[in-house]
Amino acid sequence: MEKLDEIQKRMIEELSGLHEVPVGAYNFRANSKLAGRNTTANIDIISKDDGSGIDIRIKPGTVKESVHIPVVISASGIKETVYNDFYVGEGSDVVIVAGCGIHNCGNQDSQHDGIHRFHIEKNAKVKYVEKHYGSGDGNGKRLLNPVTEVYMEEGSSLEMEMVQIKGVDSTSRKTYAKLAAGCKMVVQERLMTHGEQYAYSLYDVSLDGDGSAADVVSRSVARDTSVQKLDLLVKGNAACSGHTECDSIIMDQGKILAVPALEAHSVDAQLVHEAAIGKIAGEQIDKLMTLGLTEQEAEEQIVNGFLR
């Protein structure tokens, strides 16, 4: 992290909780350039030949190891598209921490489009954390458009934590997944928009093998005049189980459109979806105000607890 300035270090901390160089494999990218890399005996990180991204190769049987690949942009006017491919070996059990932070104090838009492709082999287990964050007082926008593709082999599992809480002006977040027999996928999305921000989230999950299962849950808050759209689609193509849930709080003049969808292509597919949009209940605010909080402080407490 010695190649990072103080703003970039602060963004790294926001994205991954790192105060110093992590133990294990990592790849730091700052303003479209490599800012630090480390590999281990079991995890290799290789730059693509055309410079468009990296390949992360995790050996079969790798357990209790992690890889951090945060991206930060602190200059106005940068626009980049990065392709990262993860090859997770059979029987592995690893944590992958990614995400992008943009600090824009200029007049030009800054944009990061990250395409992550996961190839998860048999019986491998992955926890994936992706956080997005924006800051800066310039007129230039902070734009983030992540695409995640997941290909899971028999018996593998994936837990995804997808978080965007602050400062991103516009985002289009698309996740596609294909699960083989016995695969398990759990997604927890947390999203908050404010001001005039716009956020679109798409989850398209195909349960292709017997015994596969997916649980996709999104919690979001739309404040001010911000707009959100959420598309949740689970396709049951075998004897499988799928659940989607969208739970949203709308505030001020915000707008939310939730579109849950299920497709059953097998008589043995068991699919359920839930969707709820509403305002903060007045009795919740009143109860907290009796404890000495102002109305604004009470709202913040409720929102923070909801998105936890």
Rounded to an integer, what distance in angstroms lies between the CA atom of residue 159 and that of residue 216? 10
Identify whether the C-beta of residue 67 lies closer than 8 Å to the C-beta of residue 97. Answer: yes
pTM summary value: 0.92
Mean pLDDT of 132-142: 92
Backbone angles phi, psi at 230, to 5 degrees: -130, 125
pLDDT band at 60 (very low <50, low <70, confident <90, very high): very high
Give residue 135's pLDDT.
92
Q: What is the pLDDT of residue 255?
A: 97
| Cα–Cα dist 197/225, whole Å | 8
Ramachandran angles phi, psi of 183, nearest 5°: -80, 150
Tell me how far apart the alpha carbons of residues 223 and 302 are, in angstroms, rounded to a whole number. Answer: 13
Distances (CA, A) of 167 to 10, 103, 157: 14, 9, 31
Average of pLDDT values for 27-33?
Answer: 92
Secondary structure E strands in 180-254: 184-193, 198-207, 213-222, 227-236, 241-250
Other CB atoms within 10 Å distance of the CB of residue 231: 16
Q: In angstroms, rounded to a whole number, what is the distance separating the alpha carbons of residues 18 and 253? A: 36
Rg (CA), the chain: 20
Pairing of strands 241-250, 270-278: parallel
> In sequence order, which residues have a C-beta less than 8 Å from that of residue 290 and are 6 or more positions away?
none
Q: Is the pLDDT of residue 21 over 70?
A: no
Helix then strand then coil, % of the chain, to nearest 5: 10, 55, 35
Quick check: 19 pLDDT over 70? no
Given this model, what pLDDT does residue 300 score?
83
Pairing state of beta strands 53-58 and 43-47?
A: antiparallel
Average pLDDT over residues 27-48: 94
Question: Who's near 141: CB < 8 A, 6+ residues apart?
Answer: 104, 109, 110, 111, 169, 170
* pLDDT, tens digit, 9 for 90 and up, residues 240-292: 999 999 999 999 999 999 999 999 999 999 999 999 999 887 788 878 778 88
Cβ(150)–Cβ(113) below 8 Å: no
* Domain coordinates in residue numbering, the chain: 6-281
CB neighbour class for 279 (10 Å; exposed up to 12, middle 13-18, buried from 19): exposed
Pairing of strands 33-38, 25-30: antiparallel
Question: Which pLDDT value is given to residue 290?
Answer: 81
Q: How far apart are CA 113 and CA 146, in angstroms?
A: 5
Nearest-angstrom CA–CA distance, 203 and 303: 24
